[in-house]
């Protein structure tokens, strides 16, 4: 039998192979990390043991000592998010499957002593050794498919990581915008506080009724209530980021940087974005490979439809008198009733299904890119309009009102109200700016994690463009 | 030898000539030359009219002075006093710092004063350069119905670009007015009005040395704008004398001992004005209906001039000084005051200003101790406005505005130009009392404004102030 030397070799070189296998494992995880780094410029490190875990945690804690920036939040999430690490193990699993695909099925040894029920009770021995020839035949094909599957798995995990990156950025912008909004609302509270002080002074001097004073108190209280609500939301946003960054215990106490980045000079151009997405999106590439697997599987199914089982080996008998008879064995499943027509039809349908699903996904990818690019454009125009028109106009209005107040034709309460309206406009501007950045990070994810078609050099930030 | 033709054309200067023409129906104190009837009129109409030779300033009357304005010039054409009024948009200054786009006559707001003599035959051409039709009503004058000037009722309105002719004989004397009577609300609110003074042909009573005409009116010009709002019905913020507000009002100057006449006309949209003068009491000598007989001339220091009325007052300037003359409605002597501001009197602003300046730089609480000196504070206000503005005077800031002017009476005057501020003779100026004076007269020196003890004079025995009963 030709496979025997192979089996012996496997036994002899097992330890060598397992060492090589260990390197291969690290490589698989590292490749995922490299893919993520190529788009995000950030590190994803596999926590294969406690030492690695500690390394990640130490790095995260080092970043947490500074006021949290968007880049730091993403870095910490990539290092620390448990679910991502769980997803990362899909690469390990797929790798194991790949290795499995490279093993020949173990041969089966059967030994069967048979003792007669009468004397002399010396047993007869039946023995045999068999292995699946089909298995050996299909091994290269199996390995090829498993290799594809491994690639697909790595790509999917990388895509998952980039989705997390986008989610973290979005949550970060939400948090920072919330902090700035609280800031503006506190400024509003200051104005209403001053108005209340004035009303109180008027009331003490006997110039207004308690009803008028009450109205001012209500206005002030309502602002205080809004502030409390914003505070609560801000704590929720903080917690959301904690979850995304996988933090717990004392690590959950950190401060965020307090300003949203300014509008960048320009957005990525519309042309080429769709192409960028279809060429560089990892999840699309994974799906492509999965479709390839399905296609190849169908090919194999079609070619070997008649061959469903083929075993070969040797069998022998040791007689009671000590003599042996040994000879080769072969078993073959005959394609009499089932020639694989149904299997082929099913396979064909599944292949077509996989193709349609892939096309659907590709369409969605393209559409998502267009939709998000449009949204980005609209959000930019909104923000720019606030900066160029609305906010300057409100500022001028406050100044003009101040002159009218100086001329004693305007009440100080009206003047205060105009300032409050200016602050409200600033709040609306912050919302628009946050939505711009969120749209931008979504678009970045939708084109595959980076607007640059060339992968970023290690360490070069790809995220914040100021 | 004068030919009959020459006689008829040139007229005669003798009684015989007068009789021949048969044009006069009343006796005259002096021989006045008759003038021929205007061309185109028939003899019956001529007989109805009393055509007198046109009166001349100085000779027949003391010319009226319209502070901040002028008298409408005229020419005599065939014995007729011819005037020309052009109604047009005018860029007008209420006082330095406030320029407003109004509607006026002959480039002025209000229109120039028309001055004539009873018996004059006047012909007034009115050219319309406004963006809408107009007409002129001669307020108080008895004229032929078709000359009365109510658009639609008495005449077709004068379209933009047209020139109409008004012509009538003046049969009264006194203080009258003229104003638009088409779309009155808008056109009067924008300034289309003026004084119409008719001197008597036969003056009665003492001749005034100084004769002034003041047209009272009210406007709404929002701070920072430059056009009056004719829709305003109740909340006017600029009250004017001859379309000017103090400190833009020219003073009325007279020499000590002179007889002064002031003609007041009121064409405000909605408000009467009690015009009060300091340092004198005048007699109301005429209304818009005619002269008041001397025996019933009412003495006043405050004459109420209702909307549509004229009141003529006269007095002898026997009290030297700078005397305020103003509408006594206190809101009518403030410039562009807003009425929507909160009451801050008595409010202690401590701590508030710093709080507010955190979000409004340059803010300052105002009005907590009144509104005096607001104008002098130099706060930045909208351009082209005069909110709360007054003027510096001899003794400090005069925080008056609006319908306020000054009668300046001086013993020695070389001219009637503004003589500056009055020099107070010693002992006649209110000033801070010295401590010696206070101790001598009151028995103690009163404390600061917040008061530490009142004067014992306030609760002297016998006045019942401290609860004592007597008698």
Nearest residue to A188 via CA among A17, A457, A426, A446 = A426
Give the dihedral sign, CA A360/A362/A365/A370. negative
Q: Shortest CB distance from A406 goes to which of B342, B348, B379?
A: B379
Interface with chain A: mutation pick from B98, B338, B360, highest number of A CBs within 10 Å? B360
Q: How many CA atoms lie within 13 A of B70 on its CB side?
A: 7
Query: What are the C-alpha distances in Å from B128 to residues B30, B38, B189, B239?
Result: 40, 25, 17, 27
Contact in structure between B93 and B68 (CB atoms under 8 Å): no
Average pLDDT, integer, range B122-146? 97
Indicate the helix (H) or strand (E) that contains A207.
none
Q: Is the pLDDT of residue A435 over 60?
A: yes
Segment B325-354 mean pLDDT: 91
C-alpha distances (whole Å) from B324 to each of B239, B276, B404 are 16, 8, 7
Q: Are B413 and B259 in contact (CB under 8 A)?
A: no
Best CA proximity match to A419, nearest among B360, B379, B341, B382: B360
CB atoms inside a 10 Å sphere around CB B228: 24
Residues from chain A that touch B346, judged by Cβ atoms under 8 A, are: 205-207
User: For a pLDDT cut of 90, what percent of chain B falls above it?
Assistant: 71
Higher pLDDT, A174 or A8: A174
Residue B120 has a CB neighbour count (10 Å cut-off) of 25
Going by C-alpha positions, the residue among A463, A21, A84, A451 that lies closest to residue A274 is A451
pLDDT band at B418 (very low <50, low <70, confident <90, very high): very high
pLDDT of residue A15: 54
Q: For B304, phi and psi rounded to 5 degrees?
A: -90, 115
pLDDT higher than threshold 60 for residue B302: yes
User: What DSSP line would sit under A357-417, residue for residue?
Assistant: HHHHHHHHHHHHHHHHHHHHHHHHHHHHHIIIIIHHHHHHHHHHHHHHHHTTSS-HHHHHH
Whole-number pLDDT of residue A14: 54
Say if residue B23's pLDDT is above 70: no
Q: How far is A466 from chain B (nearest CA, A)?
A: 29
Two tokens, residue A219? 């206005």
CB–CB of B347 and A205 under 8 A? yes
Contacts of A410 in chain B (CB under 8 A): 338, 340-341
pLDDT of residue B464: 43
Q: Average of pLDDT values for B173-193?
A: 96
Cross-chain Cβ contact B382/A403 below 8 Å: yes
CB contact (8 A) between residue A419 and residue B344: no
For B178, residues 6+ apart whose C-beta sits below 8 A from its C-beta are B111, B114, B136, B137, B138, B139, B193, B194, B195, B196
* A293 has pLDDT over 90: yes
Alpha carbon separation from A322 to A109, A215, A237, A319, A446 (Å, rounded): 20, 114, 82, 5, 75
Q: Highest-confidence range of A446-460, B24-38, B306-320, by mean pLDDT? A: B306-320
Q: Determine whether B172 is exposed, middle or buried from the number of CB atoms within 10 Å of its CB (0-12, 13-18, 19+).
A: middle
Q: Which residue has the tokens 């397992």?
A: A18
Q: What confidence score (pLDDT) does residue B4 get? A: 52
The alpha carbon dihedral of B166, B171, B177, B182 has a sign of negative
Q: Cα angle at B158 between B153 and B163, to 5 degrees?
A: 135
The label of the residue with tokens 């061309």 reads: B39
Tell me how far apart the terminal alpha carbons of chain B are, to the nearest angstrom: 99
- Tens-place pLDDT, residues B58-94: 777 889 999 999 999 999 999 999 999 999 999 999 9
Give the model's pLDDT for residue A270.
86
Do the Cβ atoms of B346 and A205 come within 8 Å? yes
Q: Which pLDDT value is given to residue B140?
A: 96
pLDDT (0 to 100) of residue A258 = 79
A394 contacts in chain B (CB < 8 Å): none
- Three-state SS annotation for B7-49: HHHHCCCCHHHHHHHCCCCCCCCCCCCCCCCCCCCCHHHHHHC
> How many Cβ contacts (< 8 angstroms) between chains A and B?
104
B11 CB-near residues (< 8 Å, 6+ apart)? B17, B21, B33, B34, B35, B36
Cis-peptide, bond into residue B76, ω within 30° of zero? no
pLDDT of A8 reads 62
Give me the residues paired with residue B194 across strands: B178
B278-300: burial string, b at 16+ Cβ within 10 Å, e else: ebbebebbbbbeebbeeeebeeb
Residue contact A402–B362, C-beta within 8 A: yes
pLDDT at A353: 97
pLDDT score, position B19: 43
How many residues are present in chain B? Answer: 471
- Asked if B345 lies within 8 A of A207 by C-beta distance, the reply is yes
Q: Which residue of B has its CA nearest to A409?
A: B338
Confidence at residue B463, expressed as pLDDT on a 0 to 100 scale: 45
HSE-up (13 A, CA, CB side) for residue A235: 5
pLDDT at A225 (0 to 100):
97
Query: What distance in Å separates residue A395's CA from the closest CA in chain B?
Result: 11
Q: Tell me how far CA of residue B321 lies from CA of B422, B424, B426, B430, in angstroms.
A: 6, 8, 13, 14
At residue A208's C-alpha, the angle toward residues A207 and A213, to 5°, is 140
CA distance B92 to B104: 9
Question: Per mean pLDDT, which range of B172-181, B235-244, B338-347 is the poorest?
Answer: B338-347
Nearest neighbour of A407 by CB, restricted to B343, B359, B387: B387
- Joined together, the tokens standing for residue A207 give 């110039």
Q: What percent of chain B has pLDDT over 70?
A: 83
Is the model's pLDDT at A184 over the cut of 50?
A: yes
Question: Do β-strands B121-128 and B80-95 pair in parallel, antiparallel, or remain unpaired?
Answer: parallel
User: What does the alpha-carbon distance between residue A308 and residue A336 come to, in Å, rounded to a whole number?
Assistant: 11
pLDDT at A456: 41
Overall average pLDDT of the B97-126 stretch: 97
A26 pLDDT higher than 90: no
Given a cut of 80, whether residue B231 has pLDDT beyond it is yes
CA distance B195 to B264: 9
C-beta of residue B335 within 8 angstroms of C-beta of residue B400 = no
List phi, psi (to 5°) of B93.
-100, 120
Distance CA B308, CA B289 (A): 11
For residue B36, pLDDT over 70 is answered with no
Asked if B344 and B366 touch (Cβ cutoff 8 Å), the reply is yes
User: Mapping DSSP to helix (H, G, I), strand (E, B) and coil, where does residue B164 land?
Assistant: strand
pLDDT tens track for A336-366: 999 889 999 999 999 999 999 999 999 999 9
Q: What is the pLDDT of residue A463?
A: 37
pLDDT-wise least confident of A365-369, A375-379, B199-203:
B199-203
Q: How far is CA A343 from CA A290, A297, A325, A336, A445, in A?
A: 19, 12, 41, 15, 39
Reply yes or no on whether the pLDDT at B321 is more than 70: yes
Peptide linkage before B415 cis (omega within 30 of 0): no
Q: What residues does A56 pair with on adjacent strands?
A: none
By the 8 A CB rule, do B151 and B110 touch?
Answer: no
What is the rounded distance in angstroms from the CA atom of residue B207 to the CA atom of residue B314?
10
What gap in Å lies between CA B43 and CA A227, rounded to an integer?
93
pLDDT number for residue A328: 95
pLDDT of residue A21: 67
Q: Give the helix/strand (H/E) hosting B89.
A: strand B80-95
The dihedrals phi and psi of A321, each to the nearest 5 degrees, come to -90, 5
* B408 neighbors B251 (Cβ within 8 angstroms): yes
- Distance between CA atoms of B225 and B382, rounded to whole angstroms? 9
Q: Identify which of B170, B127, B117, B114 has the alpha carbon closest to the alpha carbon of residue B147.
A: B170
Report residue B387 as tokens. 């909110």
Q: Tell which wins on pLDDT, B82 or B20.
A: B82
State the DSSP H helix or E strand holding residue B289, giving kind and residue range, or none if neither: none
Pairing of strands B310-316, B282-287: antiparallel
Give me the pLDDT at residue A18, please. Answer: 61
Contacts of A190 in chain B (CB under 8 A): 355, 358-359
Report residue A461's pLDDT band, with 50, 70 and 90 as the boundaries: very low
Question: Does A380 have pLDDT greater than 80?
Answer: yes
pLDDT over 90 (residue B324): yes
pLDDT by residue (tens digit) across A309-343? 999 999 999 998 889 999 999 999 999 999 889 99
pLDDT at A136: 87
From chain B, the residues in CB contact with A191 under 8 A are 359
Q: Quote the pLDDT of residue B408.
A: 98
Average of pLDDT values for B166-178? 96
Contact B208, B162 (CB under 8 A): no
pLDDT of residue A426: 96
Residues of chain A with C-beta less than 8 angstroms from the C-beta of B236? none
């Amino acid at each position: 039998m030709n496979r025997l030397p192979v089996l012996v070799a496997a036994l002899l070189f097992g330890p060598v192979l397992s060492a090589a296998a260990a390197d291969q494992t690290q490589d698989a995880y590292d490749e995922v990390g490299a893919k993520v780094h190529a788009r995000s410029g950030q590190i994803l490190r596999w926590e294969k043991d406690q030492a690695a875990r500690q390394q990640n945690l130490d790095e995260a804690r080092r970043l947490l000592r500074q006021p949290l920036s968007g880049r730091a939040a993403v870095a910490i999430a990539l290092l620390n998010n448990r679910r991502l690490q769980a997803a990362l193990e899909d690469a390990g699993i797929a790798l194991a499957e790949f290795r499995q695909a490279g093993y020949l099925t173990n041969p089966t040894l059967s030994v069967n002593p048979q003792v007669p029920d009468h004397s002399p009770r010396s047993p007869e021995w039946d023995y045999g050794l068999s292995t699946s020839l089909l298995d050996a035949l299909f091994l290269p094909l199996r390995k090829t498919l498993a290799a594809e599957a491994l690639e697909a798995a790595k790509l999917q995990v990388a895509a998952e990581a980039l989705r997390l990156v986008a989610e973290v950025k979005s949550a970060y912008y939400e948090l920072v915008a919330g902090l700035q909004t609280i800031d503006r609302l506190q400024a509003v509270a200051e104005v209403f506080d001053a108005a209340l002080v004035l009303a109180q002074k008027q009331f003490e001097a006997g110039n207004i009724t308690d009803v008028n004073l009450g109205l001012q108190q209500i206005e002030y209280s309502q602002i205080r209530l809004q502030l409390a609500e914003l505070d609560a939301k801000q704590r929720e946003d903080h917690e959301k980021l904690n979850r995304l960054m996988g933090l717990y215990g004392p690590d959950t106490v950190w401060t965020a940087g307090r300003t949203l980045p300014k509008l960048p000079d320009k957005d990525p151009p519309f042309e080429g974005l769709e192409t960028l997405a279809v060429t560089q999106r990892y999840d699309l590439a994974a799906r492509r490979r999965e479709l390839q697997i399905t296609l190849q599987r169908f090919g194999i199914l079609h070619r070997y439809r008649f061959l469903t089982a083929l075993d070969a080996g040797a069998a022998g008998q040791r007689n009671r008198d000590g003599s042996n008879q040994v000879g080769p064995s072969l078993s073959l499943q005959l394609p009499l009733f089932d020639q694989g027509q149904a299997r082929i039809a099913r396979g064909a349908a599944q292949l077509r299904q996989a193709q349609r699903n892939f096309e659907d996904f590709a369409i969605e990818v393209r559409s998502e890119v267009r939709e998000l690019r449009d949204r980005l454009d609209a959000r930019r125009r909104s923000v720019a309009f606030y900066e160029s028109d609305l906010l300057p106009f409100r500022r001028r209005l406050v100044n003009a009102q101040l002159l009218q107040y100086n001329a004693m034709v305007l009440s100080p309460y009206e003047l205060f109200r105009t300032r409050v309206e200016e602050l409200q406009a600033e709040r609306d501007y912050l919302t628009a700016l946050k939505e711009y950045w969120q749209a931008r990070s979504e678009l970045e994810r939708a084109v595959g994690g980076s607007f640059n078609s060339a992968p970023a050099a290690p360490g070069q930030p790809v995220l914040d463009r100021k | 030898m004068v030919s009959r033709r020459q006689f008829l054309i040139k007229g005669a200067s003798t009684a015989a000539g007068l009789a021949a023409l048969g044009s006069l129906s009343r006796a005259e104190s002096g021989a006045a030359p008759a003038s021929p009837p205007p061309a185109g009129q028939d003899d019956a109409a001529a007989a109805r009219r009393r055509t007198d030779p046109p009166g001349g300033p100085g000779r027949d009357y003391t010319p009226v002075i319209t502070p901040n304005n002028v008298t409408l010039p005229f020419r005599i054409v065939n014995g007729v006093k011819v005037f020309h009024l052009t109604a047009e948009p005018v860029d007008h200054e209420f006082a330095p710092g406030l320029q407003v786009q109004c509607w006026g006559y002959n480039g002025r707001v209000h229109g120039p004063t028309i001055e004539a003599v009873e018996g004059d035959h006047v012909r007034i051409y009115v050219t319309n350069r406004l963006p809408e039709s107009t007409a002129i009503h001669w307020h108080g004058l008895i004229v032929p119905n078709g000359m009365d000037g109510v658009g639609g009722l008495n005449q077709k309105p004068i379209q933009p670009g047209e020139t109409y002719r008004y012509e009538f004989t003046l049969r009264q004397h006194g203080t009258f007015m003229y104003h638009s009577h088409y779309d009155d609300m808008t056109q009067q609110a924008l300034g289309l009005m003026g004084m119409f003074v008719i001197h008597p042909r036969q003056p009665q009573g003492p001749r005034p040395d100084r004769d002034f005409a003041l047209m009272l009116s009210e406007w709404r010009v929002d701070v920072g704008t430059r056009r009056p709002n004719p829709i305003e019905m109740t909340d006017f913020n600029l009250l004017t004398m001859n379309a000017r507000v103090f400190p833009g009002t020219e003073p009325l100057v007279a020499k000590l001992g002179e007889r002064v006449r002031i003609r007041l006309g009121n064409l405000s949209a909605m408000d009467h004005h009690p015009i009060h003068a300091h340092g004198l009491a005048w007699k109301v000598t005429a209304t818009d209906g005619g002269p008041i007989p001397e025996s019933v001339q009412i003495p006043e220091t405050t004459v109420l001039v209702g909307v549509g009325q004229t009141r003529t007052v006269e007095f002898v300037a026997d009290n030297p000084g700078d005397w305020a003359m103003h509408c006594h409605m206190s809101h009518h002597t403030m410039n562009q005051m807003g009425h929507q501001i909160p009451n801050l009197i008595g409010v202690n602003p401590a701590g508030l200003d710093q709080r507010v300046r955190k979000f409004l730089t340059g803010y300052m609480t105002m009005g907590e101790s009144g509104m005096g000196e607001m104008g002098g504070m130099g706060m930045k206000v909208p351009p082209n406005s005069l909110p709360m503005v007054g003027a510096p005077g001899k003794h400090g800031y005069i925080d008056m505005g609006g319908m306020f002017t000054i009668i300046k009476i001086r013993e020695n005057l070389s001219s009637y130009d503004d003589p500056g501020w009055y020099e107070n003779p010693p002992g006649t100026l209110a000033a801070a009392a010295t401590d010696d004076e206070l101790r001598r007269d009151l028995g103690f020196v009163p404390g600061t404004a917040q008061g530490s003890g009142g004067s014992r004079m306030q609760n002297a025995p016998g006045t019942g102030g401290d609860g004592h009963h007597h008698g």
